[in-house]
């Protein structure tokens, strides 16, 4: 998973920005992924660790996500069910605990760091009994079970995927949805181009590129919102619902 991050200055953005992700990759893909795995193994399994030192915004984030998601949930034509959700880049289960378990009967977690998933088993408490699967896997390799999920929640993690792997992952997610299911992507958004982060081996894409990748995956954007009330010094964060 990635996290909320400070924005670069306008000058730094101009110096680091690329027109597409491949232009930002100095090393090969294997190194790109292995560097990210190593980075997260050094991060403490805490809420503050999951949020890059911005643990104080967790409640604002969760409340915004809940308001966004509840617009789609319910019974009847076109409404998304509340049977099972998948938390992608789940970390210690911050989103599972405060957003998904209160709204869904069961939840699955997937994350590349085993230590985070181990911590999630205690962090989730009694409600964690409704977690059915803890998958330790990078999203570039993860295959959701066909037609299992009502909602697939992907937050602060797409920056760890190359463009091609993101498109392929979104396609696999689409096949993992139940009827009227929903994919939600919530992530940092660059003002222009693609901004690489050499510290955690990730990138931040602008909205136009993200929309292009979503379309390439055969998905439609049905709702898009900017998260409000986050600190001014971090990147804008947008939430996008896909079908």
Residue 103: closest CA among 3, 188, 184: 184
Does the annotation flag 112 for ligand binding?
A: yes
Does the annotation flag 89 for ligand binding?
A: yes
Does the annotation flag 226 for ligand binding?
A: no
Provide the pairing of β-strand 177-189 with 236-242.
Answer: antiparallel
CB 208 within 8 A of CB 187: no
State how far the Cα of 18 lies from the Cα of 195, in Å rounded to an integer: 7
Catalogue the E-assigned strands of 96-139: 106-111, 131-136
Residue 177: closest CA among 243, 100, 235: 243
Bridge partners (DSSP) of residue 86 are 108, 152
CB 130 within 8 A of CB 101: yes
Does the annotation flag 203 for ligand binding?
A: no
What tokens does 164 get?
A: 């091609």
Residue 111: closest CA among 121, 103, 102: 121
Does the annotation flag 155 for ligand binding?
A: yes
Q: Which residues are annotated as a binding site?
A: 89, 94, 111-113, 139-140, 155
Q: Which residues are annotated as a binding site for S-adenosyl-L-methionine?
A: 89, 94, 111-113, 139-140, 155
């Amino acid at each position: 998973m990635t996290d909320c991050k400070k924005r670069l200055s306008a000058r730094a953005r101009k110096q680091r920005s690329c027109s597409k992700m491949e232009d930002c990759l100095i090393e090969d893909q294997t190194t790109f992924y292995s560097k990210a795995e190593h980075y997260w193994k050094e991060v403490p399994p805490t809420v503050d660790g999951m949020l890059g030192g911005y643990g104080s915004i967790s409640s604002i984030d969760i409340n915004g996500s809940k308001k966004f998601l509840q617009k789609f949930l319910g019974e009847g034509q076109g409404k998304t069910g509340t049977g099972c959700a998948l938390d992608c880049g789940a970390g210690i289960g911050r989103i599972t605990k405060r957003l998904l378990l209160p709204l869904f009967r069961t939840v699955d977690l997937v994350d590349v760091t085993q230590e985070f998933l181990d911590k999630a088993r205690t962090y989730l408490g009694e409600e964690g009994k409704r977690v059915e699967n803890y998958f330790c896997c990078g999203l570039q390799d993860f295959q959701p079970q066909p037609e299992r999920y009502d909602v697939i929640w992907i937050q602060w993690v797409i920056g760890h995927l190359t463009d091609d792997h993101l498109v392929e992952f979104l396609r696999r997610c689409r096949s993992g949805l139940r009827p009227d299911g929903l994919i939600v992507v919530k992530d940092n958004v660059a003002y222009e181009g693609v901004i690489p982060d050499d510290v955690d081996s990730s990138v931040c894409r602008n909205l136009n590129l993200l929309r292009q990748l979503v379309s390439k995956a055969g998905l439609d954007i049905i709702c898009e919102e900017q998260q409000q009330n986050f600190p001014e010094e971090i990147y804008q964060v947008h939430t996008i619902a896909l079908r």
